[in-house]
Amino acid sequence: MIWRKVLHPSLKPHLEHQIRETFKHRKVIRRSSDPKNAQLWVAIANISKDMAEIKQKLGISNTKTVVFPSVKKKVSRKKGR
């Protein structure tokens, strides 16, 4: 059974989006000693980046100090986190 075919319909577009975004980094993933693991970590990094950009746009400042090339603004992190 192909698990993607039985995935809940509300999740399918999100999965397809993550697959497309991860595919952009296929050269790096292929060079990895563990490509499956690398692909998962690239997907996690993409999601984390998306979340940080959304938080920045919403003015939520509880994220790490990071500079995103597409946004070019720093996001500060609250103390104690």
Distance CA 9, CA 20 (A): 17
Number of separate domains in the chain: 1
Residue 33 lies in a domain: yes
pLDDT mean over 51-59: 90
Residue 1 lies in a domain: no
pLDDT band at 41 (very low <50, low <70, confident <90, very high): very high
Q: Is 72's pLDDT higher than 60?
A: no
Helix/strand/coil percentages in the chain, nearest 5: 55, 0, 40
Domain range enclosing 69: 9-81
Give residues with Cβ within 8 angstroms of 79, minimum separation 6.
none
pTM here is 0.64
Residue 3 lies in a domain: no
